Amino acid sequence: MLAAGVIWSGFIKDMLCLPRPLSPPLQRISHSGSAALEYGFPSTHSTNAISVVIYSVWALQTTSETRDPYTHLISQGLLYAYAISIVFGRLYCGMHGFLDVIIGSILGAIIAVIQIVYGHRFDMWVSQGGYEAPLIVTLAILILVRVHPEPADDCPCFDDSVSFAGVVIGAEVGM
């Protein structure tokens, strides 16, 4: 899911090339020297935070283990606090605008739902399908890398997407 979040949000960022919001009167809070070079729409942090939280809450609610109900409640509360801190933290630090985090969150929700609905079947197909399934996945990812839009400026989004694509290829072939 994290790889999908980075790849698809990076794809959209490099396709639209929308800059991060202007910060005045706020001072942008960032330790990254390349933050000004990156595009802002949609927020990859929001995408990944929301996808992880939705999937984790689903996994908590569908677990066959019987747990103390307070453990479930506390776990869900911590997950929601995590998502809120990431999404609102991006706004607070001046790294993204409202539309950036809203669309990033929607993208994360879509990725989580796809993982919940099709993830297990996909994993079973890759792990039990012989050599054809990993080959098809590898080719599909390489095609995605090839059709990834060329950013207008030197933006690390493309590098992040290609790196995560390589991780996914390695993970799928290694299954």
45 counts as catalytic = yes
The residue from 72, 96, 120, 148 that is catalytic is 96
Q: Which residues contact 62 (CB under 8 A, 6 or more apart)?
A: none
Candidates 31, 45, 120, 148; catalytic one: 45
Tokens of 4: 């999908």
H helix intervals, the chain: 2-16, 44-62, 69-92, 98-128, 132-147, 156-174
CA dist., res. 53 & res. 87, Å (int): 12
Which of 20, 40, 49 lies closest to 107 in space, CA to CA?
A: 49
Q: What's the rounded Cα separation, in Å, for the pair 136 and 125?
A: 11
DSSP code of 39? B
Provide the annotated active-site residues. Answer: 45, 96
